Structure 1
């Protein structure tokens, strides 16, 4: 009977590549705290089974994010990523043994020379004048000088040889330890590729790495003379990475979204109440046993049935798929995230230092306003309410603020979506002078049977716009002050001037007049170009901020803060008056006045 010879096993074609040498980074997407790298490899395969070994991948690579995409007549079978164990470091070599032997010989020779010098010194000190012929004294000194000089030269030569030997030993031990600087690139990827035909295959490795991030920064330049769009905002990004692999001439994309893994909506556990019953003391042995059982039961409750869930297997498609390349346009994706593609190519070394790139330069509109709280500080603060009328989402970051070319301050920019506005402080404006005059007080009594003491306070404020009369703009200045708020039913506070409306409350303490609420939020005209309003209501229609429907009208005036909105022309001056009355039963000692 003839036996068929089984077919021979087909040899596996092994392809060994080094990541940083045999590939090119074709895309980098940087997020906050991580980055996604796309590396492209080109290599030749043989028909049948091929095993691709790629070494030198970064240690900070997230193995869960690792994926492979390919193009060509081939099928990817399996992918594994593992840490390369460093080879054992040899402790010796023939060269090192020879150097150590030479060092030992030099050390012994140096010891002998030192001993000879010591003997020579001992001999010279032992010679006595009465035992030595004076005619031979010169010869003894000459021989001592010659011999000592030769021994000193020997010592110098041996010490030089020992230093050179030590340096050679250190260099040899460094060679034995192997190359340094690649401890951050110690991962290896093994990819099985079955090729239908022999030829070239392109494979892209896509993986996420930590130790990479970017943060937003801004230069805000204000031109006070500009009538239209006075704000020039330069949007910058500072990119930092220490992944171990340099990004050389790569297309870079900055992402504002933050990848999250395993973050779900939290669930509320039952919240129950019961009658408190003190715990009866038990013996320590019984208590320890109970605690141990309780911990075991808790551990069983936490662990899902059948142990931890198994990892999901990676499913690879056998059909060809093209590698996707990101565009370089700067685009915004609503209010959730935005993508910034940096034009051209950029290099970011793995040095942990911040590398700045400019994302875009924007010219924006802004409403300028001047704010002063003279009770605390008579200086006037200038601020701008800037509207992000662009398609770009502004991330939280630090801004350097320049007004008319001069650096003013550092300011924090909050997250700003397209068409959203934000406040930017622009420092102090010394050309606006605010005088907070001394407060006047007048006391009187009222009532026939139930006498009360009435204290009337008047506070005068003067605002002077000292800007040049050639300046065409009329400034809008906000002055903030306050009246006291009573916390006792026997003390009554009444605002006399300006005549702002307080809400009327019923017995239960709730607002009983809806119409009163509407009147309360409305500004009160004080004089030409000056209106008064409760602080907070000015953020409505007065200054172009939030709408009137968004105001918490019920809270207006509860803390006694009010403000004047003054429109003052250059070289103009306005006077403001705040007057209020505090009444209480006669003899009441009022605290806080």
Structure 2
């Protein structure tokens, strides 16, 4: 067995010694903004075979990514990628269906035209026959009456049928125009130029050989989404990791082995080089009237809007995760179909049970509501990517939020919604709030009372947040009167009360502060 690969790009044309290859997509690895497609085929070759042509490939193929491997007693001399503008290989099913409809409608229109022509010929013949008979025969009254009646009935029937055919033709024309417009849109969407990879080979024997072809295409992406489910009976949350997969490469991936990778090859794998950094005195350059340079073209792939989510059967139990040096791959064992230009396909790729601490949180200054929050632990081990997350609690939908693990260093706090069973209020203490003038200073004091009541049948852990103002001017002095047991963050002014509240119990916290500033000034923010 000989196995030689020589991959370089050249340009060639079809020849008598070229053989087309009908290959099948076996596997696809989808990165965050492109995909690598792997095809294979078995084909018979002989000494007369000089070229093997993989046809019906995506026109969005990256020629630099083409790799060809072979098994058999032959030599691969080189590869060529080219666009085939002469044929429409690998037509999508939607295009084939539209073309069939056009052919059917055009056949019906031709049939209508033939009937109209036949009716018109018959009418002209009747009129001509009437003139001939009238000129060559002396007709009696009864004969003339019968002939006139016959012509009248027949001409009327021809006119009625002609009108029906005219209406039918009008409707057929409308339908044909509509289908042709759909075909034009589909052509534009599918980019009806197919790609071809030409493999130059050399062999001295007739044999059956195996070829593997791989290449990278643009127009494909996947992005993560999450379903988070929590119940009050467990100190854990279930996280379902899903992938929305889309591709518009022009080729259908049917029942393929799918791998999802967190790698982004378009960023590049080379570390930028640090160049010498020179300083010099500024010298104004003489004015030159130069045309503005065009803006750099963005290489970012623009994702197609999702029209409708297609939720596939969960395949998380059939997904194998592997970690590389710079990425994570999710290899799905079950076959998956992703059609070109179709709807996003949602695949469940992973399920995790995450330890969490359930507690209540509230900021009554902003909202007198109490929220149940799940504080997750050890989330870093999940290697999550940013994405939308749907939150469910006790089987009910709570909200949709955005998960950004990169911005959370200490832990992920996930809101599970408002709990009406815990009440909170924040009111100013009127008799302890006053405004005084002392010399050239104005002194204003504020005091508030926060009350929390647990109406649930079990004890709860709760955190309550408020704040003290911060001064940006040395003439504005801020002092604390009381903190009511709160922990104060000196940098941010945040006040935090953390405590356990037993069933039916109520807790009150009072805090206050004072502000001093020159009496002839006005302070913003109070």
Give the TM-score, by structure 1 length: 0.64
| Contact 1:218 1:234 survives alignment (8 Å) | yes
How do 1:127-526 residues align onto structure 2 when only pairs under 5 Å count?
A: 146-158=150-162, 184=192, 186-195=194-203, 197-226=205-234, 228-229=235-236, 231-260=237-266, 265=272, 270=278, 274=282, 291=289, 329-333=320-324, 336-388=326-378, 392-415=382-405, 421-440=411-430, 441-444=433-436, 452-468=441-457, 471=458, 474-498=459-483
| SS of alignment partner, residue 365 of structure 1 | strand
| Contact 2:445 2:513 survives alignment (8 Å) | yes
| SS of alignment partner, residue 151 of structure 2 | helix
Q: Distance in 2 between matches of 1:13 and 1:391?
A: 58
Question: Which digits, 9 at most, give the CA deviation of each residue in 1:420-468, with x for residues without a partner?
Answer: 842222221222211111343134566xxx5644332211111112111
Q: Distance in 2 between matches of 1:114 and 1:353?
A: 57
Question: Which digits, 9 at most, give the CA deviation of each residue in 1:463-507, with x for residues without a partner?
Answer: 112111xx2xx4332222222333343332111212xxxxxxxxx
- Give the C-alpha shift of residue 145 in structure 1: 6.1
Answer with 379-388 or 214-223: which moved more. Answer: 379-388
Q: Distance in 2 between matches of 1:391 and 1:54?
A: 43
| SS of alignment partner, residue 239 of structure 2 | strand
Q: Distance in 2 between matches of 1:390 and 1:196?
A: 58
Report the RMSD for the aligned CA atoms in angstroms. Answer: 4.3
- Give the C-alpha shift of residue 183 in structure 1: 5.3
Q: Aligned in 2, Cα 1:477/1:266: closer, same or farther, shift over 3 Å?
A: farther
Q: Distance in 1 between matches of 2:124 and 2:361?
A: 85
| Structure 1 residue aligned with 2:12 | none
| Structure 1 residue aligned with 2:314 | none
- Give the C-alpha shift of residue 337 in structure 1: 1.8
Q: 1:110 aligns with which of 99, 112, 120?
A: 120
| Contact 2:23 2:54 survives alignment (8 Å) | no
Q: Aligned in 2, Cα 1:559/1:53: closer, same or farther, shift over 3 Å?
A: closer
| Structure 2 residue aligned with 1:532 | 486
- Give the C-alpha shift of residue 368 in structure 1: 2.3
| Structure 2 residue aligned with 1:283 | none
| SS of alignment partner, residue 243 of structure 1 | coil
Q: Distance in 2 between matches of 1:37 and 1:217?
A: 24
Q: Aligned in 2, Cα 1:70/1:380: closer, same or farther, shift over 3 Å?
A: same
Give the TM-score, by structure 2 length: 0.72
Q: Distance in 2 between matches of 1:291 and 1:585?
A: 57
| Contact 2:221 2:245 survives alignment (8 Å) | yes
- Give the C-alpha shift of residue 73 in structure 1: 2.0
Q: Distance in 2 between matches of 1:101 and 1:433?
A: 78
| Structure 2 residue aligned with 1:572 | 505
| Structure 1 residue aligned with 2:5 | none
| Contact 1:392 1:418 survives alignment (8 Å) | no
- Give the C-alpha shift of residue 329 in structure 1: 2.3
Q: Distance in 1 between matches of 2:349 and 2:334?
A: 12
| SS of alignment partner, residue 260 of structure 1 | helix
Question: Which digits, 9 at most, give the CA deviation of each residue in 1:526-555, with x for residues without a partner?
Answer: 5xxxx5223xxxxxxxxxxxxxxxxxxxxx
Q: Distance in 2 between matches of 1:29 and 1:82?
A: 23
Question: Which digits, 9 at most, give the CA deviation of each residue in 1:366-411, with x for residues without a partner?
Answer: 1223222212211122222223558542222212111011111111
| Structure 2 residue aligned with 1:25 | 25
Q: Distance in 1 between matches of 2:319 and 2:75?
A: 31
Q: Distance in 2 between matches of 1:418 and 1:482?
A: 22
| SS of alignment partner, residue 239 of structure 1 | strand
Q: Aligned in 2, Cα 1:155/1:562: closer, same or farther, shift over 3 Å?
A: same
| Structure 1 residue aligned with 2:493 | 560
| Structure 2 residue aligned with 1:516 | none
| SS of alignment partner, residue 152 of structure 1 | helix
| Contact 2:26 2:256 survives alignment (8 Å) | yes
Q: Distance in 2 between matches of 1:16 and 1:328?
A: 38
| Contact 1:224 1:404 survives alignment (8 Å) | yes
Count of residue pairs brought into register by the alignment: 443
Question: Which digits, 9 at most, give the CA deviation of each residue in 1:336-355, with x for residues without a partner?
Answer: 42100112222222242111
Question: Which digits, 9 at most, give the CA deviation of each residue in 1:25-83, with x for residues without a partner?
Answer: 22110112211110011112224763112221111111121111122222110110111
Q: Distance in 2 between matches of 1:145 and 1:48?
A: 78
Q: Distance in 2 between matches of 1:208 and 1:266?
A: 27
Q: Distance in 1 between matches of 2:75 and 2:407?
A: 44
| SS of alignment partner, residue 469 of structure 2 | coil
Q: Distance in 1 between matches of 2:423 and 2:340?
A: 53
| Contact 2:481 2:514 survives alignment (8 Å) | yes
Q: Aligned in 2, Cα 1:114/1:355: closer, same or farther, shift over 3 Å?
A: farther
Q: Aligned in 2, Cα 1:155/1:461: closer, same or farther, shift over 3 Å?
A: same
Question: Which digits, 9 at most, give the CA deviation of each residue in 1:165-201, with x for residues without a partner?
Answer: 9979x89xx9xx9xx9785461122111122543221
Q: Distance in 1 between matches of 2:408 and 2:206?
A: 53
